[in-house]
Amino acid sequence: MASLTIEKPDISQLIRQTNNNNNNNNDNTNNVNSGTGGDGAEEQEEAPFVAPIDRYVTPRDAIEIEDDPTEIYAVGTRGKKVTIIEHLDIYSKTLTSVCLRSNLIQKMQGLNTLTRITNLELYDNKLGKLEGIENLTQLTNLDLSYNEIRKLENLDTLVNLKTLYCANNKIKKIGTGLTHLTSLTRLDLGSNRIRNFEGFETLTNLKELWLGRNKITQISGIENLKVLRVLDVQSNRLLNLTYGGNNNNNSTTTNNNMMENNNINNNDGTNVSDSISTNNSMDMNNNMNDNNNAKKDNGLTNLMNDTNFNDTNDSNANNNNNDDDAKMKEDKTTNITNSLTNNIILEELYLGHNNIEEIKGIETLTKLNTLDFSSNKIKKIENLNHLSLLEEFWMSGNLVETYDDIEQLANCKNIKTVYLEHNPISKDFEYRKKTAAMLPSLKQIDSTPCRRR
C-alpha cells in the first residue's frame, strides 16, 4: 500500500512573499497619487467638502416627479435632503399638495405660483421667516413646526386656512399676525417663547388651541372662542385660572405704590407727616408761651389742648389707614375674571406642570371629559361636583393626602381613569383598593387597569 507524504510548508517563505506583495501595492498607490507612475496618470485632486445644507438640491433632484402631479412628497429621512425650493412652478396647474418634511430648506421661496395647493407641509426644516405664501389663498393646512421662525406674519391673505401648526419655533409674541385667519379650527403654538394670551379675539371658529411649553402666566382674551373644545396650556407659569385685578407679578409693587401715594391723609386733605410737623411746631410755640408767661395753669391748659389735638390726628390717621387697607383689598378683587367663563363647551383642558394651588375657575365647564392638573401644587380636590361627564382626571404629582378628596369625584359617574401617583395619598398600601371601591366606574388607576372581583 503506497504511503501519502505531506510536505510541511515553509512559514518564513510565506511571510516574505506577503510583505513583498504589500510593498508593491503601496508603491503603485504612491505612483498613482503622485502622477509619476504607470502610464503617466494625471494628478487627481480631491473634491472640496460641501456641507449638506449648502448643497443645491431641489425637490426634482431628491425624488422623481411624474408628469402633471397633484402631490409632491419629499421627506428628507428617505434619501437626499432638499435645500432649496425651485422649479415647482411648472406643476402649478395640477399641484394641490406639497410636503417637504425633514429637509434643510432655509427660505420659503418658489411657492407663490402654486395657487391651487390646499396643503403645505414644511415641518422640520431651517426656516427663519414666514414669507412667500401670500398668493396661496386656497391653503387649508399649513405646517411650519420645528423651524426657527420668530414672528407670525404675512398670513393675512390665507383666509381659508383651517389648521396652522407652528410648534417648536422661536415665536415670542402673537401680536396681530392671526387676525384675519377667521376660518381657523386648530392652532398649535406649543414649545415657543410666548408670554401672553393675545391675538385670538377674531378666531371665533377655533376648536383646538395648543399652547403648551411656553412662558404664559395668565389665560385671557379667549372670551370669543365659544366653540373651543380643547385647550392645552401645559408646562407654563400659571398660578390660577383668573385674570385682571392685581396679578401676582405686580401685587407687591402695587401695594408699595399705594402706600407711597396715599401716605396717610387727614380728613382735611393734609398729609399726616405734615400734621405731625404742625403739632411739633405748636408744641414749641406753647413752650415759649409758658416761659414768657410763667403761668403753670396756662401751660397745663395748652399741654392738654396739644394732647387732644394729637389724639384727634392719630385717630384720623388710623381711620385713613383702615380705609386704605380696605381699598387695597377691594382693588385686589375688583375686575378679577375667571379665564374660562365663556368657554362652556370645552371638553378637554390640560393644565399640567404649572404652579396652580387650587382647583377653581372651572364652574361653567360642564362638558369637560378630560381634566389635567398633574404636577401642580394642589392640596385639595374640590369644585368638581358639576362635572358629570368627566372621564379622565389627571392629578399625579400634587399634594393630595386624604381619601376625603377622592370622595369629591363621587358625582363624576362616568369617570374611567384617575392619576394620583406621586401624591402623599398614593403611599398608602391600600391606596388602589380604596380608590377603586370609592369610584365604581373606574377602569384604570394611574397606568394600571383596575381589577375587580
Q: Would 20 be classed as within a structural domain? A: no
Domain count, the chain: 1
Q: Would 200 be classed as within a structural domain? A: no
Instruction: Specify whether the CB–CB gap between 336 and 242 falls below 8 A.
Output: yes
Q: Would 421 be classed as within a structural domain? A: no
pLDDT (tens digit per residue) in 309-351: 455 555 555 555 555 555 544 444 457 889 999 999 999 999 9
Instruction: Specify whether the CB–CB gap between 178 and 193 falls below 8 A.
Output: no
Supply the pLDDT for residue 451: 81
CA 382, CA 413: separation in Å to the nearest integer?
16
Q: Would 367 be classed as within a structural domain? A: no
Phi, psi of 313 (to 5 degrees): -65, -40
Residues sharing a CB contact under 8 Å with residue 49, sequence separation 6 or more, in sequence order: none
pLDDT (tens digit per residue) in 107-159: 999 999 999 999 999 999 999 999 999 999 999 999 999 999 999 999 999 99
Q: Would 113 be classed as within a structural domain? A: no
Q: Would 297 be classed as within a structural domain? A: yes
Half-sphere exposure of 317 (CA within 13 A, CB side): 15
Give the rounded percent of residues in the chain with a pLDDT score beyond 70: 69
Instruction: Specify whether the CB–CB gap between 101 and 124 falls below 8 A.
Output: yes
Total-model pTM: 0.72
Beta bridge partners of 370: 348, 392
Residues of the chain with pLDDT under 70: 1-44, 49-51, 245-334, 453
pLDDT (tens digit per residue) in 226-245: 999 999 999 999 999 998 76
> For all residues of the chain together, what is the average pLDDT?
81
Instruction: Give me the domain span that covers residue 267.
Output: 260-333
Q: Would 213 be classed as within a structural domain? A: no
Q: Would 149 be classed as within a structural domain? A: no
